[in-house]
Amino acid sequence: MPEVHIIGAGETKFGELWDKSLRELAVEAGLKAIEDAGILSKDVGILYGSSSLAGTLNWQNDMGSLLADFSGIAASGIPAVRIESSTSSGASAVREAYLSIKSGEYEVAMVGGVEKMTDIYGSEIHDIVSTTLDREWEAFFGATAASMAAISARKYMKDFKVEKEALSMISVNDHANASLNPNAHYRNKITLDAAMNATLVAEPLNLMDCSPVSDGASALILASDKFAKSVGKDGIRIKGSAIAQDYLALHSRESIYTLKSTIQAARQAFEKSGTKASDISFAEIHDSYSIYGLMELEDLGFAPKGKAKDLVMENIGLNAPLPVNPSGGLKAKGNPMGATGVGQIVEGYLQIKGKAGERQIKNAHDGLFHSMSGSGSTSVVHIIGSE
């Protein structure tokens, strides 16, 4: 089977982008990725578009066709498919692109993740985001993404005697890193005190524990080792790619603070890549809510269960043994759902190439990228490294 390399990446700024439409954002990121790869758009074999809410919020389905159309690649007949898996849509699309190259049917696959979440009035966005929960058994009774995270947080904090401080440090770290990322939604640093005392959203989670409503797009170009070598871009390889599943509804899970899907996907990705947690030089994790950051560091294998607080309180900054979310993470870089999982790997590509500017990590080599849908129903883990 062919190996799969990342040969180009592109991204828009994340934020409240009133002056750009859904399609404009996606095409901006896509063209940057094609330019970065130094290929022609007709070299692309297939396009995977990812967006979770376009059908619900923007009333635009068939996003794959839309992006192929507006970018002009439809002129060459290059096929397009939309992948939708809630907040893991982008990472799932990267995995489908990876499989498409592994299958031998395509040499080059493009992934374009996009979300335009601010084209809506006020609090309706929470109802729209809750379409990614179990609509009939969770959302219908008033549950939102934040309230599900809050339920997990309360039990986690009680069972493991974790103080709010540890949750807040996830967000403090995100904002510190995002202050160095020109594409981040929020570029302000926050103090631990500010993070702990922000307005409550769903106790114990406050505004500084919750990722924002963002617009943005991210794109990647994946290629077979043969193609990558032919264009002199075979430096960064997807060493492991895995996806696993848990129940959609939180109430069906074995534990509400252990992410079984994350444990399984991580184990598979480590196995496939021949790496272990201690080989990873940095990680981008899915902290849509700060509590998930702690749970994930444990379930990915970076800390024992209930002990991520020690890692987080000590150091997860750019100079730490394991820098976490150098991009600024979901909290501060932003969380345009369909773009989020693609954007994590864009960050990985930049870090490993040494092109991450002011937020560059020293000796970035193997990185781990974790994305999940909703409160952890699907987890996708990629391990990417320089050869």
Which residue ranges make up the site for a copy of itself (CB under 8 A)? 1, 21, 23, 46, 52-53, 55-56, 58-66, 68-69, 73-75, 77-86, 92, 95-96, 99-100, 102-105, 131-132, 134-136, 139, 243-249, 252, 260-261, 264, 373-374, 377-378
Distance CA 13, CA 367 (A): 22
Pick between residue 7 and residue 46 the one whose CB is nearest to a copy of itself: 46
Pick between residue 62 and residue 165 the one whose CB is nearest to a copy of itself: 62
Distance CA 266, CA 368 (A): 9
Only one residue has tokens 């335009």, namely 116
Here the tokens at position 176 are 């510190």
> Which positions ≥6 away from 278 have C-beta within 8 Å?
none
Pick between residue 100 and residue 325 the one whose CB is nearest to a copy of itself: 100
Distance CA 264, CA 278 (A): 18
**Closest distance to a copy of itself from the beta carbon of 131 (Å):** 4
Pick between residue 93 and residue 364 the one whose CB is nearest to a copy of itself: 93
Going by C-alpha positions, the residue among 369, 84, 346, 355 that lies closest to residue 216 is 346
DSSP letter for each residue of 141-182: GT--HHHHHHHHHHHHHHHTT--HHHHHHHHHHHHHHHTT-T
Backbone torsions φ then ψ of 201, nearest 5 degrees: -110, -60
Per the CB < 8 A criterion, the answer to whether 378 and 245 are in contact is yes
Q: Find the angle CA(120)-CA(123)-CA(128) to the nearest 5 degrees.
A: 65
Per the CB < 8 A criterion, the answer to whether 339 and 328 are in contact is no
In terms of Cβ atoms closer than 10 Å to its own Cβ (0-12, 13-18, 19+), residue 84 is buried
**Closest distance to a copy of itself from the beta carbon of 117 (Å):** 13
Distance CA 57, CA 350 (A): 31
**Closest distance to a copy of itself from the beta carbon of 160 (Å):** 24
**Closest distance to a copy of itself from the beta carbon of 249 (Å):** 6
**Closest distance to a copy of itself from the beta carbon of 316 (Å):** 28
Pick between residue 69 and residue 165 the one whose CB is nearest to a copy of itself: 69
DSSP letter (8 states) at residue 199: P
**Closest distance to a copy of itself from the beta carbon of 332 (Å):** 25
**Closest distance to a copy of itself from the beta carbon of 367 (Å):** 21
**Closest distance to a copy of itself from the beta carbon of 37 (Å):** 20
**Closest distance to a copy of itself from the beta carbon of 69 (Å):** 4
Going by C-alpha positions, the residue among 374, 380, 378, 371 that lies closest to residue 340 is 371
Here the tokens at position 16 are 């409240």
Here the tokens at position 34 are 């094609």
